Amino acid sequence: MSDANPYALLFEPVRIGPVTARNRFYQVPHCTGLGHVRPRADAAVRGMKAEGGWAVVSNQETEIHPTSDLSPYAEGRLWDERDIPALRLMTDAVHAHGALAAIQLAHNGNHAQNLLTRAPVLAPSEMSIDTSQPKQAQAMDKADIREFRRWHRDAALRARDAGFDIIYVYAGHNMTLAHHFMLPHMNQRSDEYGGSLENRVRLTRELLEDTHEAVGGSCAVAFRFAIDEMMGADGMQAAEEGRAVVELLSDLPDLWDVNVANWSNDSATTRFQPEDGYQNAFLSHVKQMTRKPVVGVGRLTSPDMMLSMVKKGIVDLIGAARPSIADPFIPKKIEEGRVDEIRECIGCNICVSSDNLGIPIRCTQNPTMGEEWRRGWHPEIIAPKESDAETLVIGGGPAGLECAMQLARRGYQVTLAEASSEFGGRVAKESRLPGLAAWSRVADHRLNDLKQRGNVQLFTDSRLDGEQVAELGIEHVFVATGCHWRKDGIGRSTQRHPTIIASDAEVLTPDDILNGTLPPEGPVTIYDDDHIYLAGVIAEKLATAGYQVIFVTPESLVSAYAVNTLEQSHIQARLIELGVDIRCNQVLTALQSDVARIGCAFTGRETDFPCASTVLVTERRRETALYNTLKGAGLKTLELIGDAASPGLIVDAVFAGHRAARDFERPKAEADKDWFRREIIDLAEDAS
């Protein structure tokens, strides 16, 4: 790399115990929903990061023993030597591109439900397990602790044999035994493992010493530590016990990987932590208390922020999970002076939701994430065009923009026509809602790319109809015209009995709010039959603007689906703080000009309350009129994509646009047959 690169400091090697990272880019452990269930796909995800220039690529938390069984989730597994070959796929993939492979060993204590193994759950003290399973954990006695240390040591040896260079001891996210022993509310022991901080840290110290002793000569021993629970005096605080833990263990680990707990605070969404580098305040003093390298995270996508963190002595290594998912090639792009090509994470946590749903990882910004092995997709490489065909993409939302960009990258001539005065469709509008500004990156990244290409023509203020499409004479057409919200009271909960809406009732939809219309004065009801973010964020907007807001949902939580993106509790807390009147388990049955009627979702018992207007966040109708017109036009290609084909999340629209562009001019028989590769269970008897 040339010395003129302003980010040269980020490409200095860093020694970590017995191994050396080739630069400062460190992919910290993160889940993929692939893990031990889909090891080939997982290895391909990790290999892609190494190819993209990361110096260290970690896997996800890896169960060390059947008493730490995270089923049904697809995490790593290293119960015995039979798990080594699957992990070897990953270390080989990472080493093939010159990076170091790290493994996050974990015993999840009372966070493991042990649903597959039916083993007793272990914890420092007797307590309920921390999921909703009706189960309690047993307090570990001294023999259990000795056994646990042996399991951890054996797992470290197996990890070394699987080819890992860095082996983690993990005390973070309130999810592992090492962390549980440290936290006073979970550790009520009266022996040498309980009471004083020194006693509560004893187990972690032993794990670090055991791991050094077992593999120290060949592997580095990293320590992942949640320095602050972000609960003020109710939990561990970076300035108090968090700091004391660093002092106590100081130079014992070869690397400090420091973050905050719980997971929803560590992987905070842009809505609740809008700034990149939001964990810096918790990190800043760690380096003063250890001579070992420190890695930190905080949705770091800006090279300037990364540089300043190293220069200020906050970290030695730039940690990333989500930024490396959104763009596995961040290091390469910075190294090659292509900073403007970075596909920045928008902090939406759709990737996190995949893990929580037990499905392969997906990413709003990077549609190839999770598809490296099963579809053979590469984030930076796409097949060149098959012909000189000209293409027309109608609709410039996330689906249309992605489709146009990938067609253009393949070398096709692309015309992109957008009806409104700006590109971006729903992301342009939704990014103007509170806390969602970063979502505009979905459009910005693609527009920036498209504007630099000579084979692209971009048109706004161009609502096309069938005649105009015919006049253009382009025979390959992708229709990405999106959808609009229903106003008729029909939704998931009202399919049998649609909400009865009086003709003089004031009804709005999210489209009205997104287009800048505000409800009339007076109390406004928001009916959420959609259950992810939109109704909640509209409630926030209107409550902040001074409206009296009544939030009605048939679910038992506000924005219930947002449990999967780790936002639900934050959303509900925010609405409560804003004074929103929350009515869960209620179906909207009728609306009149000044009254709303809701019925209990279980008993049907009805209640009325005064309201001047209602925002219905129920279902969407697809914009298919133009597509239907074009069906008879004899076009060579006519494909409906994105929300116009199937209303969903932004991630779905981007994926649809990407897939359509990849499959364009691919033989149909091949595309139909080859949806994706699967990792099929080996039924051979000796495969158990």
Q: What are the DSSP E strand ranges found in 220-310?
A: 220-228, 255-260, 294-296
Which listed residue (351, 393, 532, 549) binds ligand SF4 by CB under 6 A? Answer: 351
Distance CA 569, CA 559 (A): 9
Decide if residue 408 touches ligand SF4 (CB under 6 A): no
Q: Which is nearer to ligand ADP, 470 or 595 (CB)?
A: 470
Q: Which run of H or E residues covers position 661?
A: helix 650-663
365 contact, one of ligand ADP, ligand SF4, none, CB 5-8 Å limit per kind: ligand SF4
Catalytic status, residue 266: yes
Which of 347, 425, 482, 523 binds ligand SF4 (CB under 6 A)? It is 347
Output 66 or 648, the one with its CB closest to ligand ADP.
Answer: 648
In the complex, what is the shortest distance from the CB of residue 527 to ligand ADP, in angstroms, rounded to a whole number?
Answer: 21
**For ligand ADP, which is the closer residue by CB, 469 or 562?**
469
Distance CA 434, CA 368 (A): 29
Please work out the total of residues on this chain that contact ligand ADP, with binding judged by CB under 6 A: 25
530 binds ligand ADP (CB under 6 A): no
Classify 138 as helix, strand or coil.
strand
**Nearest distance from C-beta of residue 533 to ligand ADP, angstroms:** 15
| 355 is a contact residue toward ligand ADP (CB under 6 A) | no
* 326 touching ligand SF4, by CB under 6 A: yes
H helix or E strand, kind and range, residue 148: helix 142-161
Q: How far apart are CA 70 and CA 357, in angstroms?
A: 13
Alpha helices by DSSP H, listed for 263-370, are 263-266, 280-283, 303-311, 322-326, 330-335, 350-357
**DSSP-assigned letters across all residues of 169-208:** EEE-TT-SHHHHHH-TTT----STTSSSHHHHHHHHHHHH
Question: Which among 65, 107, 173, 212 is annotated as catalytic?
Answer: 173
Tell me whether residue 154 or residue 449 sits nearer to ligand ADP (CB atom).
449
* Among ligand ADP, ligand SF4, none, partner that 426 touches (CB below 5 to 8 angstroms by kind): ligand ADP
Q: How far is the CB of 449 from ligand SF4 (least distance, A)?
A: 16
Is residue 99 a contact residue for ligand ADP (CB under 6 A)? no
Select from 44, 260, 644, 651 the one that contacts ligand ADP (CB under 6 A).
644
**Residue 653, interface with ligand SF4 (CB under 6 A)?**
no
Q: Where do runs of H (alpha helix) occur along 330-440?
A: 330-335, 350-357, 398-410, 425-430
Q: Quote the tokens at residue 239.
A: 């300035």
Residue whose CB is less far from ligand ADP, 379 or 397: 397
Q: Is 623 in the site for ligand ADP (CB under 6 A)?
A: yes
- At 600 the three-state DSSP class reads strand
Please report whether residue 420 would count as binding ligand ADP according to CB under 6 A: yes
CB burial of 42-66 (b: ≥16 within 10 Å; e: otherwise) equals: bbbbbbbbbbbbbbbbbbbbbbbbb
CA distance 340 to 333: 8
C-beta closer to ligand SF4: residue 300 or 307: 300
Binding residue (CB under 6 A) for ligand SF4 from 261, 348, 539, 617? 348
Closer of 330 and 598 to ligand SF4 (Cβ) = 330
Residue 323 and residue 284 in contact, taking contact as beta carbons nearer than 8 Å: no
Helix 142-161, helix 84-95: angle, nearest 10: 50
The catalytic position among 7, 26, 168, 170 is 170
**Is there binding between residue 482 and ligand ADP (CB under 6 A)?**
yes
Per residue in 161-198, is it b (16+ CB within 10 Å) or e — as a string? Answer: ebbbbbbbbbbbbbbbbbbbbbbeebbebeeebbeebe
Task: Judge whether 611 counts as a catalytic residue.
Answer: no
* Active-site residue, 31 included: yes
Q: Does residue 325 belong to the site contacting ligand SF4 (CB under 6 A)?
A: yes
Q: Residue 649 CB, nearest distance to ligand ADP (Å)?
A: 9
Give the one residue of 162, 306, 350, 538 binding ligand SF4; rule: CB under 6 A: 350
User: Which of ligand ADP, ligand SF4, none does residue 463 bind (CB under 5 to 8 Å by kind)?
Assistant: ligand ADP
Active site residue ranges: 31, 170, 173, 266
Contact residues for ligand ADP, defined by CB under 6 A: 394-400, 417-420, 425-426, 462-464, 480-482, 623, 626, 642-644, 653
